[in-house]
Amino acid sequence: MKKVLVFLTVGIALSGCAKKPENIEPTPISNQTYSSFSCKQLTAEKLKNTQALDNLSAAQNQAASSDAWGVFLLGLPISSMSGNDKEAAISIAKGNIQAIDRVRVAKGCA
């Protein structure tokens, strides 16, 4: 019975851990958001979103690592509980990049 309780507790704690950035799905963003942008503006916007995604991913990797240690040492996903999880922002940045790429293809941007 004690083993079952331990495994159940660990399973619940791990379910609240921060995800690795590569495991976060993009939020669907409408092409309409960027349809009025020129090719030059799309390139600049993609660069801005890519840089933001890189920064957010670094923070998310740190949060995931901290959560793993927190669960191991305390049984709690500390980063996720303290608001350091960047999952939503990463998902939006990925969605923006996908939308920008679709609009760039539709406009024939190089």
**What are the residue boundaries of the structural domains of the chain, listed by start?**
2-107
Question: HEC profile for 43-70?
Answer: HHHHHHHHHHHHHHHHHHHHHHHHHHHH
- Reported pTM: 0.70
Q: Is a pLDDT exceeding 70 seen at residue 70? A: no
Residue 86 has a pLDDT of 84
pLDDT at residue 38 is higher than 90: yes
Residue 3 pLDDT grade (very low, low, confident, very high; cuts 50, 70, 90)? low
Closest residue by Cα to residue 79 from 53, 57, 59: 59
Sign, CA torsion 31/99/39/58:
positive
CA 104 to CA 6: how far, in whole Å? 51
Contact assessment for residue 19 and residue 67, using Cβ atoms and an 8 Å cutoff: no
